[in-house]
Chains A and B, each alone.
Chain A
Amino acid sequence: MFEAKLQQGVIFKKIVDAIKDLVKSVNIDASTSGLSMQAMDSAHVALVSLKLNENGFKDYRCDRPITLGLSIENLSKILKCAGNDDTITLQTDEEEPSSLKFFFENQQASKISEFSLNLMSLDSESLGIPDTDYSSVIQMSSAEFSRICKELSSISETVEIETSKESVKFSVQGDIGAGSITVKNNQSDKDVDRVDLQIDQPVKLTFALRYLNMFNKAVSLSSTVSLNMSEENPLMVEYKIDDLGSLRFYLAPKISD
């Protein structure tokens, strides 16, 4: 028996919205400790990793580990039928399920919707990501990071991110010209202005803005985002989801030919 009930179903809707442009189908692994998912985009440039802890669910039960292979597009179609204030319950009682049941219930418990989503058998292409001590970690407003990426993507396809002890600089160079946005360390009380820089070693890395813009679809999951970088390593962009877990995106850098 597997059953997971989310009090704030809207979080699940937002997670699926955030990844649906990046990945088409995923294996969700359910275990006693919670749900996890890892998937690469079709070009194998980026990777998304989701971890939801059992403690963050209103009810959670998973008697034995199961893998749920599903189409994100089809999942998204079903989740459109859930209201933003609804609870969402995922359920299956089969050992090797061919479908996953969904229950959506509104706050007054006056409306209950029930759906079943056909599951797929997908090759598992899980990558081992070691725990990494990143040499530059930036925590800032997710909305502000999203804005910077969006603005710069009209000038260039790539952005160079350069950190120093005091600031992080986002630079672009395109056909029409060049520019940069520098964000300084700022210990403001307001989330929107706050910028935390933990720089052990400065880094200078270049990334495709198209992917960063896709990651930023997760902006509504968390008011802050953390950018984790080490020289010659993928960027890890993390959105923490309150008590529930985290959504991480990894992006391979671009290198000079």
Chain B
Amino acid sequence: LRSQLHIENYYRLE
């Protein structure tokens, strides 16, 4: 099984 990560896990809100 694989989970889909969110893009916000990698880049911070400016």
- Using a CB–CB distance below 8 Å, which chain A residues touch chain B? 40, 43-47, 125-130, 158, 206, 208, 233-234, 250-257
Contact = CB atoms under 8 A, between A and B. Distances in A.
Contact of A128 (B2, B5, B9, B12): B12
A4 to B, nearest CB: 24
B3 A44 contact: no
Contacts of B13: 125-128
B10 to A, nearest CB: 5
A47 B7 contact: yes
A254 B6 CA distance: 9
B11 A44 contact: no
Interface of B: 1-14
Interface of B is mostly: mixed
A109 B7 CA distance: 45
A254 B7 contact: no
A158 to B, nearest CB: 6
A254 B14 contact: no
A208 B11 contact: no
A128 B3 CA distance: 23
Contacts of B7: 40, 44-47, 127, 234, 250-252
Contacts of B2: 158, 206, 254-257
A80 B2 CA distance: 40
A254 B11 contact: no
A45 B11 CA distance: 11
Nearest to A256: B2
19 contacts: A44-B8, A45-B5, A45-B6, A45-B7, A125-B13, A127-B8, A127-B14, A128-B11, A128-B12, A128-B14, A208-B4, A252-B4, A252-B6, A252-B7, A253-B5, A254-B2, A255-B2, A255-B5, A256-B2
Contact of B5 (A40, A47, A252): A252
A257 B14 contact: no
A235 B9 CA distance: 13
Contacts of B9: 252
| A-B complex: 5 closest residue pairs judged by Cβ atoms | A127-B11, A254-B2, A252-B5, A257-B1, A44-B6
A193 B6 CA distance: 34
B3 A252 contact: no
Contacts of B8: 44, 127
Contacts of B11: 47, 127-130, 234, 250
